[in-house]
Amino acid sequence: MSNDLSFNLVTDPWIKVLKKDYTESEVSLNELFSNSEDYLQLAGDMKSQDLAILRLLLAILLSVYTRFDADDTPYSWLDLDDKWRVTRTDNDGFNSQKLKLENTWRSLYDQKAFSKKLFDYLNLYQTKFDLFGEDPFYQVNRQVYDQNVPENKKVAKGAGTVSVKQINRLISESNNSPALFSPKSGIEKDSVNNAELVRWLITYQNFTGVTDKTKVKSKDKFSVSPGWLYSINPVYIKGKTLFDTLMLNLSLVTNDSADGTNWLNSQRPVWEYDDINDYLQQRLNGVYPDNLSELYTVWSRMIHIDWQNGQPVIFSAGLPKLDSKKQFLEPMTTWRKNKDGVVYPAAKNKNNINVAMWRNFGQYIRTKANEDEKRIPGIVSWIQELKKEKYISKHTNINIVTVAMISDGNATSQSPYAEITDNMQAKAGVLFDDEPMLENRWQDRIEKEVLLTQQVANYFYWFAKDISNIQTHSEKKKSNDDWASRKVAQFYDELNQPFYTWLSGLDLSQDRDAKTKEWRETLNRFVATQAKNIFINATADEIIGGKEDNIFTIYNKLRRNVYVCLGLK
């Protein structure tokens, strides 16, 4: 195709947004940052795509506002080159630097608008945001691609391609495995306009899988990256408007690192590399990003797009998987320990796909029980810092959202299996209560109620299991366990909304004992209703029962256990 072609992300519309009148629109980067207060949220093709694009937007904001304050003045502790990249930084006086960065955040937040320097930055790097050209966005040119793949995988050979329908995560169809349930059919699966292609290109770099087999040349063997966001349990904060969402996730000071120090490292998103080969070499050397902008724009694939008759032919070569062990720079994830006590980003899988956020409350919010052993998402720590410094009010509603794309669990493909979203909302003063008596803090009380609820669910499991034992006249059949497990899953599914409603209604001014009792009474009524739904369909066998129990004695045992567990009088 002609080298004169251009589709520039800075000036051409490609980002889907939802406006305040609930209509959708496509906007450019310039339009989005100019009018973000007028948009409710990103409104892309799927929530995982919105998350990937949100991180790209944050990388841009971080690259500007860690170098310039809200008045567009460079920070005194930095020296910048003609591309505004940091050439020198004075690491003395961390607290002073932290205060100035937080003041920048507060100024932007209060004025509900971004400064001129942001748009100057986009103009400075505009050529790097073009889908076409010598330095195409999120791609490499043909020469670079051919330099970094084996001889038999060069562009002229036509090998190592992925189709549009494969990077489109609504389809995720390889040439060998047709997608049965697809929003497009036939040749339409590979039909895409430039705006769609950009959105899916960003998404694919974050949620990739390992179905493609071409790798970047390397002296050492390596495992191919499935996409960084595929490897974590993504968490972010959703605001009332897109501007709020951007600001609440704009962590200008990151307090967590592998060695417990504070991060004030120079930002370096992928487009700031003069020579993309330098970036590729860092990835091959196993260098983990030391700054958020680079982490938010990390590639899983070296991609080259060859245009033939106006249609993209996508060449893809795998890059090494990032080592996620103790990589605490990532702020948008929950964490877990393996059996050796090593901390990794948690990741959803097919086995826990239906577990709602509130059931793991302590993974998201710091409580007395987990403050020494568990890590919480860095983005939640950032919000806690904003509340502590009174940059946001204790009455501010904090909406914690998780968006995860679940793989099929097949190590040779890791193709998308399902997308899940969940959220829990509460006031900042409740989630980050600083009441002097630790046991009286709301976050600790909430965690206690979560644990009590889990105990009640356990009692309900045994109730269902006992019913099933009577039905089958056996205590050993696996089908009894399966039936009881399905009933508990249904129990939790229907309990999600009551718990979230209770949580979002909590306030610092309320009587804490009364609100705790309110939840326990709600739970008690809920258990009774769920049990009666089984009870009313009782068979003759269940009514008569076995040697010791029938449905009435089993029901009474459940009610007694729940009543005692919840301490109701």
What sign does the dihedral 405-406-411-414 (CA atoms) show?
A: negative
Q: Which residues contact 538 (CB under 8 A, 6 or more apart)?
A: 551
| pTM to 2 decimal places | 0.93
Per the CB < 8 A criterion, the answer to whether 410 and 423 are in contact is no
Per the CB < 8 A criterion, the answer to whether 332 and 240 are in contact is no
Rounded Cα–Cα distance for residues 348 and 416 (Å) = 12
Is 363 contained in some domain? no
Is 74 contained in some domain? yes
Query: CATH code at 499?
Result: 1.10.132.100
**Looking at the chain, how many residues does it have?**
569
| Domain limit, last residue, from 290, 318, 346 | 318
Rounded Cα–Cα distance for residues 172 and 414 (Å) = 11
Is 151 contained in some domain? yes
In three-state form (DSSP H/G/I as H, E/B as E, the rest C), the secondary structure along 489-516 is HHHHHHHHHHHHHHHHCCCCCCCHHHHH
| Domain limit, last residue, from 318, 349, 364 | 318
> Residue 416 forms beta bridges with which residues?
407
β pairing state of 311-318 and 78-80? unpaired
183 SS3 class:
coil
Dump the DSSP string for 235-269.
EEEE-SSHHHHHHHT--SSB---TTS--B-PPP--
Q: Which residues contact 394 (CB under 8 A, 6 or more apart)?
A: 387, 427, 428, 429, 508
Q: How many domains does the chain have?
A: 2
β pairing state of 397-407 and 235-238? antiparallel
Token representation of residue 311: 């249609």
Per the CB < 8 A criterion, the answer to whether 361 and 450 are in contact is yes
Q: What stretches in the chain show pLDDT beneath 50?
A: 1-2, 178-182, 184-186, 257-261
pLDDT value of position 534: 83
**DSSP 8-state code for residue 72:** S
Per the CB < 8 A criterion, the answer to whether 295 and 127 are in contact is no
Closest CA to 182 of 195, 199, 164: 164
Is 432 contained in some domain? no
Is 390 contained in some domain? no
Is 45 contained in some domain? yes
Is 65 contained in some domain? yes
pLDDT value of position 191: 75
pLDDT value of position 258: 46
As a whole number of Å, the end-to-end CA separation of the chain is 78
pLDDT value of position 536: 75
| Domain limit, last residue, from 273, 301, 318 | 318
Asked if 78 and 227 sit in the same domain, the reply is yes
Per the CB < 8 A criterion, the answer to whether 235 and 380 are in contact is yes
Token representation of residue 111: 């004025």
pLDDT value of position 439: 80
Residue 52 domain boundaries: 15-318
Is 10 contained in some domain? no
> Residue 424 forms beta bridges with which residues?
400
404 SS3 class:
strand
